[in-house]
Every structure is written in structure tokens, then in C-alpha cells.
């Protein structure tokens, strides 16, 4: 099971990374905070002080077609916001 899927690169995530030294990752929905902490420390060589997680629910969409009602849903996503020790940083643009 791969814990880290990819870093999230958006305006809001970059702003929080610059101001609070907090980096955001898309992670496996079954990963725990301890597993996320270990994975970030091994992958980037930094010390993690705190891990915050959130799970976004799947989005259900329906549409009417000639064949009837079509229902689809997206996948469940889990994001992790990782606080790094003061003075350390993660180069997310170098890993793309």
C-alpha cells in the first residue's frame, strides 16, 4: 500500500506552506496518521511535528438520458496536512 499519492499544488496549499510551514498531500484513504508521518519523513527527510487529515465524501451525480436515469459517484479522497519542524522545508515542485 502506497501511503502518499501526490502532493497537492494549489494557491491555497502553497500559501499555507509559505506562511505556516504546512504541506498538503493526497494520501491513501486507509492510511493512518502515524503511517503518513513515517512516509513523509522517509520520502522527504524532514521531521514532522503534526499531521491533520480530512476525508472528502464521494460526489453523487445524476443525469437523465434516453435510456433512463444514470447515477455515478466519484471516489472518496483523503488529504493530509503535515506540519514540518521550524527551519525545514519540502520541495514539492522538485518531485513532480
63 has pLDDT over 80: yes
DSSP letter (8 states) at residue 95: G
**92, 46, 21, 85: CA torsion to nearest 10:** 180
Strands of 1-96, DSSP E? 4-7, 22-27, 48-56, 60-65, 68-73, 77-84
Residue 60: CB atoms within 10 Å: 9
Average pLDDT over residues 11-24: 94
d(CA 14, CA 81): 12
pLDDT in the model for residue 38: 96
Domain membership of residue 75 as a residue range: 4-95
Mean pLDDT of 43-50: 94
**pTM over cut 0.75:** yes
Domain count within the chain? 1
Q: What is the CATH number of the domain that holds 82?
A: 3.30.70.330
Amino acid at each position: 500500500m502506497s501511503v502518499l499519492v501526490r502532493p497537492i499544488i494549489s494557491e491555497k496549499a502553497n500559501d499555507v506552506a509559505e506562511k505556516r510551514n504546512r504541506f498538503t498531500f493526497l494520501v491513501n484513504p486507509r492510511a493512518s496518521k502515524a503511517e503518513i508521518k513515517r512516509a513523509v519523513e522517509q520520502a522527504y527527510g524532514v521531521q514532522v511535528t503534526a499531521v491533520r487529515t480530512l476525508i472528502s465524501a464521494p460526489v453523487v451525480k445524476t443525469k437523465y438520458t434516453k435510456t433512463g436515469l444514470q447515477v455515478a459517484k466519484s471516489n472518496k479522497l483523503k488529504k493530509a496536512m503535515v506540519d514540518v519542524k521550524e527551519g525545514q522545508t519540502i520541495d514539492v515542485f522538485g518531485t513532480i
